[in-house]
Each structure stands twice: as C-alpha cells, then as structure tokens.
Chains A and B, each alone.
Chain A
Amino acid sequence: MQLDFSIILPLTILIAWACALLLVDLFIPKERKGITAFLAALGLALTLGFTVTQIGREATSFNGMVTLDGFATFTSALILVSGLLGIALAYGYLKRMGIERGEYYALMLFSITGMLLMTQASDLIIVFLALELLSIPLYVLAAFARPNLQSEEAGLKYFLLGSFSTGFIVYGIALVFGATGTTSLSGILASPSSLILTIGAALLLIGFGFKIAAVPFHMWTPDVYQGSPSAVTAFMSSGAKIAGFAALLRVFALAFPNLSADLTDILWALSALTMIVGNFSAISQTNIKRMLAYSSIAHAGYILMAFVPFGNKEVVATSVAAGLFYLFAYVLTNFGAWSVVIALEKSDPSTGSGRGLEISDYMGLAKKYPAHAAAMTIFMLSLIGFPPTLGMVGKFYLFSSAIEGGFVGLAVIGVLTSLVSAYYYLRIVVNMYMREGDPTIEREPWLDITTAVMAVATVALSFVPQWIFQLAGSAVLKLF
C-alpha cells in the first residue's frame, strides 16, 4: 500500500485551512468579517501556488484511487481561480445584502476542496466522495440568504434534486461494480462490456448531467440560479460546472471508451438538446439571473460537444483540449458578466431579495456608467462568440474539433444556436445603450477590479490564445 500525500497536497492544505478558518472565524468580530474573506482568499492563493508547482507532475497513489496529471492540474487551477473570483464578488455583496457571515467562506473552501478532489478522482468511490463534498456546502450556500424565501426555496430545490441525481450516480456505480467487480477506472476499462455495465454508465451520465445542467436534466437550474444569492450563483455556475465536466470526462474517457458505440449518440443528442433548449428558453426571460442561468445551460451544451467523440482515439485529445479551453473562456466571461449583475443588484429590505435584476433595469446604463456598459458588452459578445473576444476563439476551437471528429451536424446546430443566442444577449446591449433609464450601480473596489480584469482578459487573450491552447493541449496529452 503506497500513500503519496504529495499528490493531494493542495487539497489537503485547503481542507485544513477551511477547518481552521471555521474556528478562527469565531474570534473575528461580526463587523470585521472581511478578515475571514481575506483569509479564505489567502488559503486559495496558497493552494493555487502549490497547484502551479505541480504542473508537469504525473503520479498515482492511494491504490490508484487518486491521480495527479496535467488534466487535474489544469482544471484544479481553473477551479481555484473561480474560487478567488467568487470571493472577490462575494466580499462586498454579502455586506450589502446583509448576509455577511463567516461560514460563507469556510463553506466555499469545503466545496472547492471537493471540486479539487473530483478532478483527481480515478475511482468511482472517490468520484462519489468528491461529489458529495462539493455539493453539500453548495446546497447550504444556495440557501444562504435565509430567511429570504427565494433563497430557501433554491437551497431546498437544489438539495432535493441534487440528492436525487446523486442517487442515480450511486446506483450507476453499484451496477458498474456489479458488472465488473471493481470501481477503479482502469479496472473497469479492462473488464469486458456487458449490458449492465452500459446501464450503469448511462445512469452515471444522468447523474453528471444533473450536475452540469444538461438538458433534459436542467430543470433545477433556473430556479436555483435565480434564488441563490448572486455571488453564489456566479461561483456555482463556474466552479461546479468545471468539476462536473472534469468527472464526466475522466470517467467516460478512461473507463468507458469501449461503450462509445452506444454512448456517443446519446452524448450527441444531449449536447444538441442542451444547446437548443438552453438558447431558446433564454429568449423569453426577463430576469437577468434566469437568462444567465439558461445561458449557462446552453454553454454546457457547447462544452459537451467536445466530449461527444470520447471514444475516438484520434480526435479525442484535440476535442477535449477544445472543451477545456472553452471552459476557461466561459469562466472568465461568466464571472465578468456576473460581476456586472452583482454591481446592479440592490438589497430590498421589504422582501429580502435583490432588486435591479430585471433586464429592463439595464436601460440607460451606458450613459451613466460607460465603463460598466462597455465591459458588459464585451461579455455578451464573448458569450455569443463574437470577435475580438475569447468566446469567439473558444467556439472556433470547439467547432473545428467537432468537424474534425466528423460531427458536422452538431457543429451546424452549434452555430445556429449561437445565432439564436445573439438575440437575447444583444437585448442587454440594446437596453444598456439604446434605451433611456436611470440605473444605479454599487461601486465596490473588488467588484470593479473583477469586472475590469475580466473584460481586459476576455479581449486581450483572444489575440494571444496560444499559451492557453498549449496548457489545455498538454493537459490532455497523457490522459489518453
């Protein structure tokens, strides 16, 4: 039995840090919870530092249950960056909404630990463990604005449907174990395929589908995204998604490539449906949080596109790298968009929920706050996939990998739904620039910095995408 703790060093640090933070927080006075936020960010930054030192390292330990490779490092780094951004968004927001409590940050760290473990899991038991570790704090975070009814509803809904989907995953694991006698991914790969194994894999796909909000398992998303505090939603829609995709990819590419004959078509349909339903449903939304929720569903569809050829040895590496790149682009853009949403949201003491979340609240933004409007325009263009933004490079990469894999039909659906998405993203731009209104914005330094950095990065990196390409490319190099 070999135990190489160094390969789980980042997440060990983080979970220790989170536990300590929970204790330290008791001694931090109520009006100075900013210190907790700072400490949490410090912990994340430290973990990120250790993660970066692991670039290029490859190892397996804990009886092959945990793996460290480029893929894990890349996705972990992305998750940690999302965590940092999530704290930057939450810092002023929680204070403003009157829900500033220290455990918020500790819960975030626990959830992030789960996500990190998820990226390294090479055994279905670890996948399950990580999934629960990342989900349970998120259920609590979704309901964090208690006693606000919407937030409580979001928490409960997320919890119920989340547990339901976990049930699918557990049942899937059980069936897989029944068919193969093992839960390790490499062991499953070596076993002969059978009907039970296929059913197990399909159940796992349903479970992961819930987590990444793929259609038809997306029903919870709009309500949960709308009801949760916006800072939580921003974090949830990035971090949880990355972890979900990481697990989906690792499990399917490493354990089930032999089932690709059965599963590729299902993934194809999932991806197409997700793009279509997500984009078309977003059109009719009037609330920006709901609209971004459907937009995140739609983007899950685009990212899923990269996973469709998971059984095709020749193209899977490029296509997964494209998916990772798109995740990266999506995380930056998504956080940028949410930072603007949060800046416009105001606390409404009468109902306890936020105001300033209707799309009509964006009218006239450009006249009063030209910088915010310009940044939001950049984010919207990037979500459409319009140059010169990272979103465009991401879509280009994604569609080219789809075409290379022979899925021209899927690429056609992808571009056509992008056209549909242009309609509703542009509506925000129209409201900001071409209609009159009198919006007000909360100026908070961390929020403004996040908006500015994300906007600049979204544009600037689109001119030099090479190094992210290379990172994403080398991340999947040894995976297959």
Chain B
Amino acid sequence: MEFLLQPLTLLTFFPLLGVLVILFLKSEQKNAIRWTALGTTLLTFGISLWALTQFKAANPDLQLEAKYSWIQVAGWDIQYYLAVDGLSILLVLLTGLLTPISILSTWTAIEDRVKDFMIFFLLLEVGMMGVFLAQDLFLFYIFWEFTLVPMYFLIGLWGGPRRIYAAVKFFLYTMAGSILMLLAIIWLGIEGNTFSVPALIAQGGIPENIQMWLFIAFAAAFAIKVPMFPLHSWLPDAHVEAPTAGSVILAGVLLKMGTYGFLRFNIPLFPEATVQAAPWIALLATIGIIYGAAVSYAQADVKKLVAYSSVSHLGFVMLGLFALNAQGVAGAILQMVNHGLSTGALFLLIGMVYEQTHTREIKVYGGLWKIMPVFGSIMLISALSSMGLPGLNGFVGEFTILLGAFGSEAIGSPWYAGISALGVIMAAVYILYMFQKMFLGPAGEITKEHELKDLNWREILTVAPLLILMFWIGLYPAPFINLIAPAVGKLLIGY
C-alpha cells in the first residue's frame, strides 16, 4: 500500500485503473468507455496537480522520490526510482493536461473500436509519465520504448490512408535510435555499478573519448525523437496519418521526450562531450529552424505545415538547451511547454474542421472566419502563439532562448542565434499565409460542399485550457520560470 500511495507511483500507474475498468466494459458501450477514459485521465491530471502542491519550487533537487531496489543480480543495481524536479515538473503537468484534452477531442471523431483506442491511449499516458519521472536508466528505457507500442497502434489503426506505412516507419525509426541508447545504458550500468541517474551523475569521471561515444548513442535516440534535422523524415508522415488525438500527443508530449532526454541525461552525464558537441548541435538546430520553416511554407496540407513547423520550433528548444546557460535552458524548457500548448491547439483545431470536411488541403478552404467566427478567433490566437507574438506564450520562450544563445560561450558564436531569429520571421510568414488562405478572403470551394458548423461547447471546452495557459504564460510567466530556474541552476553548475 505504501508503495502505491506515493504521489508519483500513483500518478504513473493510475491510468492502468482505467484500462482495467474499460476491459470489463463491452465494446458497444462507447460512451461509458469514453467517460471512463476521460474520468481516469482527469483524475490523473488531478494527481499531477496534487504532486505540484507537494513540490517545493525553491528546491533544485529531485523530489517526491519513490525508490525501491528492484533487480539486484549479476552485479546490477536496478532500482524502481521515480522522482521529479524543476526540469520535469512542467512536462509532467503538460502530459497530465494534454491527455484528457486529447480524449475529449475524440468524442465524435473516433467511432471505430473505441475500446481499443482508449486502452491504448491510457497505456500511452503510463509510458509518457514514466519517461518523465524515471530516474533509473533501466526503468527509463522500459518506459521510453513502451510508449512506442500504443502510439504505433494509434497511428496504424485510426490513422489516414497511408497509416500502416507511417506507423511502421515511426516504429522502426524511433527504435533505431533507442537501441543504440540501450547499449550506452548497459555500458553506464556496468561501469558505474548502478543504473540510478543521480548516482551516475555524482560519480562522473567517464573518460572523455568514451563520453563522446555515449553522448552520440544517447543523442541518436533523442535526436530522432525531437526530431532534429536531418533525422526528421518520420515526423511529417506520422503526423499526417495519425488521428487528431495522436497528433496532439505526438507533438505535445512525445517530441518533448527527446528534448527532455538531452536535458536529463546527455547534459549532466557527459559534460565534456556536451561542451564539444554544443556548436554542432547548435548548427543542426539552426538548420532545422530555417529548413523547417521554409518547408512549412511550401506545404499544401495544413497538418503537414504544422508538422514541419514543429521541426522548426524544436530547433529553438535544442538551441536553447545547448546554449548551456541559465537563460537558454530555462527558455528551452518553457518553450517545450509552449510548443505543446500552441501546436497541440493547432492540431486540435485542424482536427475539428477536418471532422466536418475530411480534407486538409489549404487551397480548398477560404473565408472560414465569416462562417465559423469562434473557430477563426481561437485559431488566430493559437497561430499567433505559435509564431511568437509578444503577449502570448511563444514569445517568452523564443525570446529567452535567443537571448541565451546570443551570449552563449558553449555555442561560441552569436551567428547561430542571429540566423535563428530569422526563423521567427519565417514562422510569421507561413502561419499568416496559412491563416490568410484558410480564414480570410472569398469563401473556398469546400464551404459550398459542406454546411460548416462552428465549434460546439465540447470543442470549445477542449481548447479553452490551452488558450488560458497561452495568455497566462505570455503575460505572467514568473510562476513557471520559478518552477524551472532552481533546477536549471543546479544542472549548469558544472558548466
């Protein structure tokens, strides 16, 4: 009992309770299944808020630890070790928030195999929470790999026409990275005699040439997940084919697992290698920012446009992380959350109109604002948040990152930040282009074919929390920064 009542254990495994209940429901009881899933994820979000109340923001260390020895044979020391600190608390909350929102968005969109869908979704939440909370490499690896399975099914079963291709590509691509990380994890575990991350960080002392190899092995897994240029090619496929809820979680949480991985493992475990790699990663991040933005502009499919914009936005996050100074890293963490909010909202909104028209081609739309005023306004806010308009959340994150990257010793040149700043302008171009084509101007052909209805209360309720947070972070980011800053300070002590 004591084991289960720890806030973080409860948080991670609570969705399993929902899975259990759903297993006993009949496939035909769709609404009961939906309500169970929604209730479970809302309660999970409640637990994450409860964890937040217990969390001491001023404390830079890992908190709310749940720590038990697990497998102790053959010279291994594997622990069941969950804990949270300033680096992960916001991501945990983001996961807790986005999951019920995604489930709410499927209310009418998913009619086929609702039972399976909800089971996979709840399992996915277990995996994601575990990834952000695990402090033992073995445990982390299990959660990390496990998230692949439900996501694979979500894309492959409820996705678009090329869903099988996209699902398999997603699976193999991500697995390719993580198996290299597996070898590095094993190496660390054997050499350090422990798999516990804090203990390994405290030990340090990995020879520099080996550090580089380990850094690369971990980075392979994380860079594919982020995805960093040039390892991003799975992302547009996965996003376009995934159902709306899958895209929201993919963009909102799964991509953050990559950037979080760099933050949690690469930077503290391999300090020398990190310093060496920083300029190169900054280079790739900058290319990703510009490339993602440019390719976004060229897309005819609005979902693909948002997908490529993720490549660009996560480039900013990577740039901030490897600026290796307080502003850059804190900005990057905040930007992870921001991207989850704004891109999550964009995918939700696109999904809502797609449900009515079944097309995502930009050119067939037009003049939507007149027909769907509420939808148009919410879309505008989300779009502006995504392109980083001052007063909204995106600006705070990107500005802090660029500030950090300009003055970064690790990156060594202000040029990266300078060029990346162009990405902000390019974001304005492709976002406004999309908005103009779809929402302004004369009514498009699609509006003649369909009686388009504006958003209903459920859909508004779905995006409302995201909008509130966009304004909150945009206007008063201090509470969020306060959660992050102490842990970032501790992370950067060695740099």
Binds B, one of A141-149, A274-282, A466-474: A466-474
B157 to A434, Cβ gap below 8 A? yes
Is there contact, CB below 8 Å, between A430 and B168?
yes
A469 to B72, CA, bound (A): 9
A321-B71 in contact given A403-B186, A415-B183, A426-B171 (Cβ < 8 Å): no
Stretch at the interface among A33-41, A74-82, A354-362, A417-425: A417-425
1/0 per residue, CB under 8 A from A, across B293-332: the answer is 0000000000000000000000000000000000000000
- Tell me which of B167, B180, B182 has the highest count of chain A C-beta atoms within 10 A of its own C-beta: B182
Please name all residues of chain A whose beta carbon is closer than 8 Å to the beta carbon of B145 when the two chains form the complex. 386-387, 392
- Give the segment of A125-133, A162-170, A293-301, A394-402 that binds chain B: A394-402
B149 at the interface (CB under 8 A from A): yes
Contact of B156 among A318, A418, A422, A433 (CB under 8 A): A433
User: Are B179 and A415 neighbours in the complex by a CB distance under 8 Å?
Assistant: yes
Cβ–Cβ contact B164 & A403, under 8 A:
no
By a CB distance below 8 angstroms, the chain A residues around B183 are 399, 403, 408, 411-412, 415
Which of B74, B153, B171, B176 contacts A433, CB < 8 Å? B153
Q: Does B172 contact A (CB under 8 A)?
A: yes
- Measured in the bound complex, the distance between the Cα atoms of B179 and A19 in whole Å is 50
Chain B stretch 70-94: residues in CB contact (< 8 A) with chain A: 71-76
Does B163 count as interface, using CB distance less than 8 angstroms?
Answer: yes
With an 8 A cutoff between CB atoms, is A267 at the interface?
A: no
Bound CA span A151–B417, Å: 69
User: Residue of B at shortest CB range from A412?
Assistant: B183
Q: Nearest A residue to B189 by beta-carbon distance?
A: A400
A465 within 8 A of partner (CB)? yes
CB pair A396–B138 under 8 Å, yes or no, is: yes
B134-147 contact mask (Cβ, 8 Å, vs A): 1 or 0: 00001001100110
B175 interface hit (Cβ, 8 Å):
yes
Chain B residues near A470 (CB-CB < 8 A): 73
Q: Are B164 and A469 in contact (CB under 8 A)?
A: no
Q: Which of these, A404, A423, A469, contacts B190 with CB under 8 Å?
A: A404
List residues of chain B with CB within 8 A of the CB of A399. Answer: 182-183, 186
> Which residues of B in the span 93-140 have a Cβ within 8 Å of any Cβ on A?
116, 138
Kindly state whether residue A416 has any CB partner on chain B within 8 Å: yes
Flag whether A381 is at the interface (Cβ < 8 A).
yes
Complex Cα–Cα for A148 and B100 (A): 57
- The CA-CA distance from A435 to B179 in the complex, in Å, is 28
Does the CB pair B73–A466 fall under 8 Å? yes
Q: How many B residues are at the interface, by size bracket?
A: 20 to 34
**Assembly CA distance A318 to B75 (angstroms):** 9
Write the nearest CB–CB distance from A362 to chain B, whole angstroms.
14
What's the minimum C-beta distance from A425 to chain B, rounded to whole angstroms?
Answer: 11
Whether B163 and A415, one on each chain, are in contact in the complex, defined by CB atoms closer than 8 angstroms, is no
On chain A, the residues within 8 Å of B153 by CB distance are 433
Contacts of B168 in A (CB 8 A): 423, 426, 430
Q: Indicate if the CB atoms of A419 and B156 lie closer than 8 Å.
A: no
| C-alpha spacing A404/B149, complex, angstroms | 30
A 57-72 to B, binary, CB cutoff 8 A, 1 in contact else 0: 0000000000000000
Q: Using Cβ atoms and an 8 Å threshold, which residues of chain A touch B148?
A: 386
Closest beta carbon of chain B to A427's beta carbon, Å: 8
**Is there a chain A Cβ closer than 8 Å to B68's Cβ?**
no
Residue of B nearest to A408 (CB): B183
Residue of B nearest to A370 (CB): B116
Is A388 on the interface with B (CB-CB < 8 A)? Answer: yes
B280 at the interface (CB under 8 A from A): no
Distance, CA A426 to CA B172, complexed state (A) = 10
CB neighbors of A among B35-92 (8 A)? 71-76
- Contact across chains for A430 and B156 when beta carbons are under 8 A apart: yes
Residue numbers in B under 8 Å from A396 (CB-CB)? 138, 182, 186
B179 touches A419 (CB 8 A): yes
* Proximity bits, A430-472, B CB within 8 Å = 1, else 0: 1001110000000000000000000000000000011001100
B71 close to A430 (CB less than 8 A)? no
Whether A415 pairs with B182 at a CB distance below 8 angstroms is yes
**Contact flags A312-328 to B (C-beta < 8 A → 1, else 0):** 00000010011000000
A381 to B168 alpha-carbon distance, docked (Å): 14
User: Smallest CB–CB gap between A192 and chain B, Å?
Assistant: 34
**Bound: A322/B152 CA distance, A:** 30
In this complex, which of B152, B156, B183 has the most chain A Cβ atoms within 10 angstroms of its Cβ?
Answer: B183
Residues of A within 8 A of B163 (CB): 434
Chain A residues with CB below 8 A from B189, complex form = 400
Chain A residues within 8 Å of B172, by CB: 419, 422-423, 426
Contacts of A386 in B (CB 8 A): 145-146, 148-149
CA distance A396 to B181 in the complex (A): 12
Counting CB contacts under 8 A, is B433 at the interface? Answer: no
Closest chain B residue to A366 by CB distance? B116
Decide if A388 touches B74 in the complex (CB within 8 Å). no
**Interface residue? B187 (CB, 8 A):** yes
- Chain B nearest CB from A415 CB (Å) reads 4
Cβ-defined contact, A430 with B164, below 8 A: yes
A381–B149 CB distance below 8 A: yes
Most-contacted residue by chain A among B74, B148, B149, B167 (CB, 10 A)? B74
Contacts of A426 in B (CB 8 A): 152, 168, 171-172
User: How far is A15 from B168 in the complex, measured between Cα atoms in Å?
Assistant: 49
Whether the Cβ atoms of A469 and B142 lie closer than 8 Å is: no
Residues of chain A with a CB closer than 8 A to B164's CB: 430, 434-435
| A469, B175: Cβ atoms closer than 8 Å | no
A426–B174 Cα distance when bound, in Å, is 14
**Whole-angstrom CA separation of A469 from B76 in the bound complex:** 11
Q: Which residues on B sit within 8 Å (CB–CB) of A473?
A: 73-74
Complex interface residues of chain B between 442 and 463 (CB less than 8 A to chain A): none
Does A321 lie within 8 Å of B186, measured CB to CB?
A: no
Check B167 against A466 for contact (C-beta < 8 Å).
no
Contacts of A404 in B (CB 8 A): 190
* Residues in chain A near residue B146, CB distance under 8 A: 386-388
The answer to whether B74 and A318 have CB atoms under 8 Å apart is yes
Q: How far is the CA of A418 from the CA of B148 in the complex (A)?
A: 15
A466 and B142 contact, CB distance less than 8 A? no
| A321 to B72 alpha-carbon distance, docked (Å) | 14
Q: CA separation between A212 and B332, bound complex, in Å? A: 53
A317 to chain B, nearest CB (A): 9
Determine how close the nearest CB of chain A comes to the CB of B172; give it in whole angstroms: 6
List residues of chain A with CB within 8 A of the CB of B75.
Answer: 318
Q: Which of A370, A434, A469 has the most CB of B within 10 A?
A: A434
Which residues of B in the span 155-197 have a Cβ within 8 Å of any Cβ on A? 156-157, 163-164, 167-168, 171-172, 175-176, 179-180, 182-183, 186-187, 189-190
Task: Tell me which of A366, A418, A422 has the highest count of chain B C-beta atoms within 10 A of its own C-beta.
Answer: A422
| Nearest Cβ on chain A to B315's Cβ, whole angstroms | 27
Q: A430-B167, A469-B74 are in contact. List 10 more A-B contacts (CB 8 A).
A: A387-B145, A392-B145, A411-B186, A416-B179, A419-B172, A419-B176, A423-B172, A426-B168, A466-B71, A473-B74
Closest 3 CB pairs of A and B: A415-B179, A469-B73, A387-B142
18 A-B contacts, Cβ less than 8 Å apart? A386-B146, A386-B148, A396-B182, A397-B74, A399-B182, A400-B186, A400-B189, A403-B183, A403-B190, A418-B179, A422-B172, A423-B168, A426-B152, A434-B164, A435-B164, A469-B71, A469-B74, A473-B74
